[in-house]
Structure 1
Amino acid sequence: MTIGKIVTSEKVKEIDKNGKFVRQHNHFTAPFGDQAGMLPVEAGRYRLLWAAVCPWAHRSIIAIKLLGLENVISIGKASPVRTKQGWEFSLDPNGVDPVLGIRYLPEIYAKTDPDYSGRATVPTVVDVKTGKVVNNDYFNLTYYWETVFKPFHKADAPDLYPEHLRADIEELNQTLFHELNNGVYKAGFAQSQQAYEDAYNLVFNRLDELEKRLSHSRYLFGDHITDSDIRLYVTLARFDVAYYSVFNTNRNRLVDFPHLWAYSRRLYQIPAFGSTTDFQAIKQGYYLGDHAKNPYDILPLGPDVSIWYTSNNR
């Protein structure tokens, strides 16, 4: 099915000849900044569209809240259950985004670029002045919130991307993306046994390494939260409630890793993390969404998420 010339999710193929999941490239990647060709950094100009189920979008929301940018970048929220027509703004009155007036996210992609043929993804940044998509580069968005939007940070905002650690953060973030953030999707969407096993091993080898790393460090880079912690957290938060079962990444649960589990709870108990983590929405999105293999739409009752409030002793 299409909306305009936008191909909705069930038509987009991201599987190679060996059955491996290959995520589509971002299309709208213009950076924010003050140089020619960059998106101007202005308060009130942009609207970030997200869904609580999506880890790529969730990390932008966490960063925005940690940095105090909620009054600088407006937020639009889609339903966690992606439909065959794409992400839907059914949580809003009359089922449309109150600022952009769209029901489905692909509508604004079609308005922006009628020839675009990929998935309309969250997070999406829209220029409210033009009503068009300007950025859906989930990998780099938090870097922009942390750097060029710094003049708008609240007074006590943490430095999530300190200059002396940037090379190390970027290197770790690449590893986290390929082996864990996207690794669980490689396992879950694999269409061959070998592709699945390769991804499965990639995920758990990296989790084992992170368990060791966090055995002697409060956060990934010492005693202070960085951009890397946000990226790791959003995958860990979804692990036991979704990835373990839905994506067959079932060697261990998060709660079976003592240090990763304590680390995750410590982050969850920070308001910017916990207040934006909606476990029910995460389950709905993964079990009931258009890509779920769940013909009777049965939503699991567990696991018990109240344990996220228990002491972390870190």
Structure 2
Amino acid sequence: MGLLVDGKWHDQWYDTGKTGGRFERDAARFRNWVTVDGSPGLTGEGGFKAESGRYHLYVSLACPWAHRTMIFRKLKGLEAHVSVSVVHPDMLEDGWEFRPGEEGGRDDLYDFRFLRQIYTKAAPEYTGRVTVPVLWDKHRQTIVSNESADIIRMFNCEFDSLDGVRSDLDYYPEALRADIDAVNERVYHTVNNGVYKAGFATVQAQYENAYSDLFDTMDWLEARLSRQRYLMGDRVTEADWRLFTTLVRFDAVYYGHFKCNRQPVSDFPALSGYLRELYQMPGVAGTVNIDQVKRHYYVSQRTINPVQIVPVGPRLDFSAPHGRSGLS
């Protein structure tokens, strides 16, 4: 894990010494929006019109944040319109990289060796972390966004006029937006990012705080999903997919590697059934690669796992019956 400083690469782990042992995630630096007509979005500048073939997505199959975008690309029918390149699961001294012929593919646009070269192509003096996902504009030769929460909302509606896109699917309906935002806020801080706060903490008290917040929310989610089929009731929304990408990694990685070990997801009856139902929705299973997930975390994060041994287990069966059909 490293970062760019004025366009120069530095192999540097997170400095938790400045935060009392607490992990703090850096904010995304590119926050432009693709819109139907190219007008400015909620942040950033305009000029990014929704057009077929114009945009390219850089992802890791291991990363939960990038996984969100791959799910939306699949569910919305954007595969013919937004191309994709996948980095190798190992993220070592040079950060995310491409290894053609191995598990990580080729940079299909520029044949770059490292993802950081995409960042410096967009901004030669860039300072910040080099993260996935990245939404790239082939026309303007720049990064539109590296914020997954924004990218999935662009994919949700801005490309709906293109051929074959599922305009009938709206995962952020206007009537539910306030409720979705409220659930997202809690889940982001205590679950999505909460597992990292536990795993990357370097002081016992910070770890225990993150652990406590995580399982308080897991218990809250279990109760909520015991009463209703999805987080917003009877329909799948953005909130479900944002939670899914953490849940599907939990037992394989976060439970042991990040010491989030009060209990695995498989021990939560409602949450585990809910996870299986989402996994079994058409197209979703093809976006999940547990082998790459495990390899990334256990090999790349040597401050946590210095021997880089990847565990063989656990045995996971996301295809088992989910038992959720009877819930309203």
TM-score of the superposed pair, with normalisation by structure 2: 0.89
Higher relative contact order at CA 8 Å, sep ≥6: structure 1 or structure 2?
1
From the two aligned structures, give the one with the greater helix fraction: 1
Residue 86 of structure 2, aligned match among 63, 77, 82 = 77
Quote the offset at 1:150 in angstroms: 2.1
| Counterpart in the other structure of 2:9 | 7
Matched residue, 1:236: 247
Between 248-257 and 99-108, report the one with greater CA deviation: 99-108
Comparing 27-36 and 281-290, the one that deviates more: 27-36
Deviations 1:189-238 (Å, cap 9, x if unpaired)?
A: 01111111110011100000000000011111122211111001000001
Q: Note the C-alpha offset of 1:98.
A: 2.1
Q: After alignment, is 51-60 or 148-157 more displaced?
A: 148-157
Q: Note the residue ranges of structure 2 that are not aligned, 5 or more in a row.
A: none
Where does 1:18-97 land on structure 2 (aligned, <5 Å)? 18-33=20-35, 34-36=38-40, 37-38=45-46, 39-91=48-100, 96-97=106-107
Moved more, 167-176 or 276-285: 167-176
SS at match of 1:57: helix
Q: Please give the alpha-carbon distance, in whole angstroms, between the structure 2 residues aligned to 1:78 and 1:252.
A: 31
Root-mean-square deviation over aligned CA pairs: 2.1
State yes or no: 1:108 paired with 2:112: no
Tell me whether 1:304 sits opposite 2:306 in the alignment.
no
1:200 aligns with 2:211: yes
CA 1:166–1:301: 2 relative to 1, 3 Å: same
TM-score (norm 1): 0.93
> Which of 122, 133, 158 matches 1:148?
158
Take 1:57 and 1:14, find their aligned partners in 2: how far apart are those partners? 24
Name structure 1 gaps, 5 residues minimum.
none
Q: Is residue 265–residue 271 contact of structure 2 (8 Å, CA) maintained in 1?
A: yes
How many Å separate the matches in 2 of 1:116 and 1:13?
19
Residue number among 136, 143, 164 corresponding to 1:126 in the alignment: 136
Distance 2:271 2:254 in 1: 16
User: Following the alignment from structure 1 to structure 2, what is the Cα–Cα distance between the partners of residues 59 and 69?
Assistant: 14
CA drift of 1:295 comes to 2.8
Percent of counterpart pairs with the same letter? 38
In structure 2, relative to structure 1, the CA distance for the partners of 1:60 and 1:9 (3 Å cut) is farther
Report deviation, 1:291: 4.7
Are the equivalent residues in 2 in contact too, given 1:173–1:228 (CA < 8 A)? yes
- Aligned amino acid, residue 134 of structure 1: V
Name the CA shift for 1:272/1:280 in 2 (closer, same or farther; >3 Å): same
Deviates more, 1:153-162 or 1:294-303: 153-162
Deviation at 1:81, TM superposition (A): 1.4
